[in-house]
Amino acid sequence: MSRAIALRDHRVVPAVAAVALGLLGLVEAWSDPEFRPHFGVLAVASAVIAAGFAVAVRWPVAGAAVVACFYPVSALLGAPGPGGAGLIAALVATAYAGFAASRRTSRLAVVASVGVFIVTAGLYSGLSWDTVFFPAVFVPAWWVGTLVRRERERSRQVIALATELDARREASARAAVVEERARIAREVHDSVAHSVSVMTLQLGGLRRQLDAVLVDHPAERDVMLGLERLGRQSVEELRATVGLLRERGDAVDGAPPPSLARLEDLVADVRATGLPVSLEVRGTLAGLPKALDTAAYRIVQEAMSNVLRHAPGAQVFVRVVNEDNVVRLTVTDDGPGSGHPDDPDTDPATLGGHGLVGMRERVDMLGGSLTVGPVVGGGFEVDVRLPIRREWA
């Protein structure tokens, strides 16, 4: 992974060029008969090229100017030139400055390189077509560097835009899933569960009307009791399914599922807001039915949120008891704030998370009971009882 990062770092270009073009200058000086008598001087010029690229690793514009100085150094020491290796090095350094520095700053590299070449050529060999031609190629080299930089920036912008579009598309897909789950939950609750509930009630009423007749037909009576029991259990399962659909629709991907086993974390988060909360747990909270476990957690969460809104300075007492196949949740505060559902200044729809309606809905799905109201001496209490197993008659 570190190797891949190094290859993507553009500073590797001048680092490699320092070695490659420095050696290329030495090879040219040794292999060219015109340059070989001046090998020592051209070795110094190659060292200037290597040093310029080393500077360009951190300061691209200054590095390009240093690389261009190989020409006056070799001319001052009496060597012919500029050679092909030196000219290539100057072009590469100028192009890299156009890529690595801003457009305005990198122009200084072109001005410096062209100026060094024109002044050096004019002083040592006089102005000629070559004097103008060689420096003129620095401008296209710089322009190529700026084009590469611009394309790289555009590529980054395209990648960022694609990432943002993917995130929005994923968010839209999640929202569509949540909406579809909510729609299914409404349909199941309002249509299927209601119809099955009415059928079960009618069956129960019919059984009671026929009690006198069924006394002499115990087998038929047992069949009717079984059908009634099955209908009530079906209603219970449908309501539990509605609760799971809604919970999954509200859940955040990757977040731990709501559970009474995480009640300590929930209380700790509320304490972090400055609200003093004490927690008492009796009995085991492990192995509870998922629908009950989730609903109980949300009810406690909503009750404490209600205290935060209406009585932020109050002391809160949370008590969770699991015994006799019943989970009892009590959230009591001693604050003077509003929160009573009958209080004219309180909107019941805003009472605790999904509100009082949401609390009652969760409790009803599990066949439990909910009591809310003020307590003697001031404060407010939410008292919930949720049966772990329901027995149908």
pLDDT, tens digit (0-9, with 9 covering 90-100), for 70-86: 888 888 887 777 777 88
Q: How confident is the model at residue 327 (pLDDT cuts 50, 70, 90)?
A: very high
pLDDT of 270-300, one tens digit each?
887 777 889 999 988 888 888 888 888 889 9
Dihedrals φ, ψ of 176, to 5°? -65, -40
Outline where the chain has alpha helix (H).
Answer: 2-8, 12-31, 39-56, 60-68, 70-76, 84-100, 103-124, 129-136, 138-187, 194-209, 211-214, 218-250, 263-272, 290-310, 355-365
CA distances from 372 to 164, 228, 336, 375, 383 (A): 45, 32, 15, 9, 6
Does residue 220 have a pLDDT over 60? yes
Residue 330 has phi, psi (to 5 degrees) of: -130, 125
The most confident of the ranges 117-121, 124-128, 265-269 is 265-269
Structure tokens at 275: 């609200």
Name the residue with higher pLDDT: 302 or 191. 302
Determine which of 294-303, 304-313, 315-324 has the lowest per-residue pLDDT on average.
304-313
Q: Is 348 exposed, middle or buried (0-12, 13-18, 19+ CB in 10 A)?
A: middle
Mean pLDDT of 96-125: 80
Edge-to-edge order in the sheet of strand 380-387 = 277-282, 316-323, 326-333, 380-387, 369-374
Q: Which two tokens stand for residue 106?
A: 């990198």
Q: Compute how many other C-beta atoms are within 10 angstroms of the C-beta atom of residue 117.
A: 23
State the average pLDDT over residues 231-251: 68
- What pLDDT score was predicted for residue 256? 66
Rounded Cα distance between 226 and 236, Å, is 15
CA angle 243, 245, 248 (to 5 degrees): 105
> Using CB atoms within 10 A of its CB, is residue 287 exposed (0-12), middle (13-18) or buried (19+)?
exposed
Q: How far apart are CA 246 and CA 187, in angstroms?
A: 12
The single-letter DSSP state of residue 257 is P
**Stretch among 224-238, 329-343, 354-368, 377-391 having the lowest mean pLDDT:** 329-343
Residue 347 has pLDDT above 60, yes or no: no
**Torsion from C-alpha of 167, 173, 176, 180, nearest 10 degrees:** -140
pLDDT at position 190? 62
CB 250 within 8 A of CB 287: no
Instruction: Name which of 293, 302, 315 is nearest 348 in CA terms.
Output: 302
Amino acid at 238: L
CA dist 333 and 75 (Å) reads: 91
Report the alpha-carbon distance of residue 5 to residue 98 in Å, rounded. 22
| Average of per-residue pLDDT across 344-362 | 56
| pTM of the complete model | 0.43
Q: Which residue has the higher pLDDT, 140 or 163?
A: 140
